[in-house]
Chain A
Amino acid sequence: MRTVLDYLDRTAAAFPEKVSFKDEKTSLTFAQLREQALRGGSALLKDGIVREPVAVYMSKTPDEIAAFMAVLETGSFYVPIDDEMPQMRIRLIFENLKPRAVICDEGTRESALELADGAKVYTWSKIRTEASDEEALAKVRASMIDTDPCYIMYTSGSTGIPKGVAVCHRSLIDYTESFCDVMKFDEDTVFGSQTPFYFDASLKDIYPTIKIGCETVIVPHTLFMFPLKLVEFLNEYRINTLCWVVSALTMISAFGALDEVLPKYLKIVGFGGEVFPIKQYRKWKKALPDVRYINLYGPTETTGVSMYYEVDRDFEDDDVIPLGRPFENVDIFLLNENNKEADEGEICMRGTCVTLGYYQDPERTSAAFVQNPLNDRYPEIIYRTGDIARRNDRGELVFVSRKDFQIKHMGHRVELGEIECDVNSVSGIVNSCAVYLKKKDRIELYYEGRVDEKELLAYLKEKLPRYMVPTKVHKLDKLPLTPNGKTDRKGLTALSEGK
């Protein structure tokens, strides 16, 4: 196997009439998915789009998956852009990516044309029906290698500029094989897709579906406000597998929805993105004791998931669910401040899971993707996650904290520095400090300057993705400083926690 398209070819031949991806309105069989990929890919090839980034700016639908596959057919790599991302962020991404082609749908067309900056804008419903050029497709396929990029996902960067993580086919195949083995998905698996496609957690549904020939149902975004309706939806579509961020699962349990109605088809719950509060986990376990619960851990830079822990014992309320152990073909070790292996230290990863780096960003790439300090004999790039972990008595890794000011909020990675960068760029602002309140799972912001609190909040809502917008902003005459003259983030955090 060289590319993930081999999964699609194989599954479309084995189960042509089976449903692959569906939502409330539409669905695609595997045969349709492949057919549209070939047609859409041919349309792009006709314009000379080969081996280059293609932005896919569509709402989250089965069609968007077909568009991803069409991009891959041209030897190119897709870059998911969401219709709910703020325009400013899309602009920043496009500045880094400089795409020549953007695929949109009817709903995003106007905005795509505005942001395209010279790129050609293709409407998916038009190109998916164009004639397929088998000769051209075969020629491109023959030239593809497994280290060619497959997608780019943009994550938060502390300087305010998002980082584009480029991932090759080989890493994605390695991930898909290991992940399916660990989770024991099969042909009867029905995923309920929760995460946006611009977020790499969505790979957990997409690629197992294409590899195995099972089904993914896209859960409407708005249901995540209404827990009972959400569970009823899971039952209506007979969803038996969830790979969700923790905050989506706790939304159901914290409101007591599991006392009212049970997701009765559920067999497997994979969770990740942040630490699962034990109290909430226990509510799930009590309501659904026969379900398998699996903690999934891994940064975007090492292809999403590279460690897992299947919960196999009881935990007390003050325990932490371990990160567990690495997938097959992944090596994980902890490095202390002197770059020596230790029982507590920064999580470092070695293997095919290590991605290509940040797109058009050699500086930030070389800071995180480094030569293995334990190996001075041949070139070997490892990824330094910035997460600190320790090894427990059982040999499992347990998350301790972050090295920097990155936090996890509602399952998303957020650099507090990126929020501050945006605030500080507002005219009239002198300085700012973002704090994260772990217990309440909320971000608050302190600042000094002559801007009104409401005005600032309204501006941030336009500029930042929803999960990065502070719940509250506080104007101060002067930000408190530590004895070293730095902003006293700890003091401000305590101030917010005391409120």
Chain B
Amino acid sequence: MDELIEILKDLHSDVDFDTCTTLIDDKILDSFDIVSIVSEVNDRFDVAIPAKELVPENFNSAKALWDLITRLEED
């Protein structure tokens, strides 16, 4: 989880990713960020996020994204 927060902090150092649950709803993350996140997650965790998981719910908070990564790692 810490490593994921680090990736996110690299994109937006001013956001508290531990508590924020509206990353998409409040337009904090944009399409440039999503592309970066998907490629960083692939590089660092060796997890490919498939198209059907690219939905707002999975990106609204660091925790939701972490849950997704864990779920995909298990598969």
Chain A interface (Cβ within 8 Å of chain B)?
A: 222, 224-229, 251, 255-257, 259-260, 410, 440, 442, 454, 457-458, 466-467, 471-472
Contacts and interface: CB of A to CB of B under 8 A. Distances in A.
Interface in B20-73: 24, 27, 29-32, 34-36, 38-39, 49-52, 54-56, 59
B51 to A, nearest CB: 4
A451 to B, nearest CB: 14
B14 interface: yes
A471 B36 contact: yes
A454 B15 CA distance: 12
27 contacts: A222-B27, A225-B24, A225-B29, A225-B34, A225-B54, A226-B54, A226-B55, A227-B54, A228-B51, A228-B55, A229-B55, A251-B31, A251-B35, A255-B50, A255-B51, A255-B54, A256-B51, A257-B51, A257-B54, A260-B52, A410-B32, A440-B39, A454-B13, A457-B13, A458-B14, A466-B30, A471-B36
Contacts of B30: 225, 466
B42 to A, nearest CB: 11
Contacts of B29: 225
A224 B31 contact: yes
Nearest to A472: B10
Nearest to B34: A225
Contacts of B36: 442, 471
Nearest to A452: B13
Contacts of B38: 255
B12 to A, nearest CB: 9
Contacts of B51: 227-228, 255-257, 259-260
B65 to A, nearest CB: 13
A229 B55 CA distance: 8
Nearest to A461: B12
Given A225-B59, A228-B52, 8 more contacts: A225-B29, A227-B54, A228-B51, A256-B50, A257-B54, A454-B13, A466-B32, A467-B32
- Per CB-CB distance, the 7 closest pairs between chain A and chain B, nearest first, are A257-B51, A255-B51, A454-B13, A225-B31, A225-B34, A224-B31, A256-B51
Contacts of A440: 39
A229 B57 CA distance: 12
A302 B52 CA distance: 40
A362 to B, nearest CB: 36
Contacts of A224: 31
Nearest to B59: A225
A163 B45 CA distance: 43
Contacts of A471: 36
A350 to B, nearest CB: 37
Nearest to B35: A251
Contacts of B49: 255
Contacts of B14: 458
Contacts of A260: 51-52
A466 B12 CA distance: 13
A39 B51 CA distance: 46
Nearest to B36: A471
A21 B54 CA distance: 29
Nearest to B58: A226
Contacts of B27: 222
B31 to A, nearest CB: 4
Contacts of A454: 13
A454 B54 CA distance: 28
A354 to B, nearest CB: 33
Contacts of B54: 225-228, 255, 257
B21 to A, nearest CB: 17
B67 to A, nearest CB: 18
Contacts of A442: 36
Contacts of B52: 228, 260
A230 to B, nearest CB: 10
Nearest to A252: B51
A334 B51 CA distance: 42
A457 B50 CA distance: 30
A208 to B, nearest CB: 26
Contacts of A227: 51, 54
Contacts of A225: 24, 29-31, 34, 54, 56, 59
Contacts of B13: 454, 457-458
Contacts of A410: 32
A178 B63 CA distance: 52
Which interface residue of B10, B29, B51 has the most chain A CB atoms within 10 A? B51
Contacts of B31: 222, 224-225, 251
Nearest to B38: A255
Nearest to A258: B51
A331 to B, nearest CB: 38
A458 B11 CA distance: 10
A454 B10 CA distance: 8
A471 B31 CA distance: 13
Contacts of A457: 13
A67 B30 CA distance: 28
A466 B50 CA distance: 25
A227 B56 CA distance: 11
A49 to B, nearest CB: 34
B71 to A, nearest CB: 17
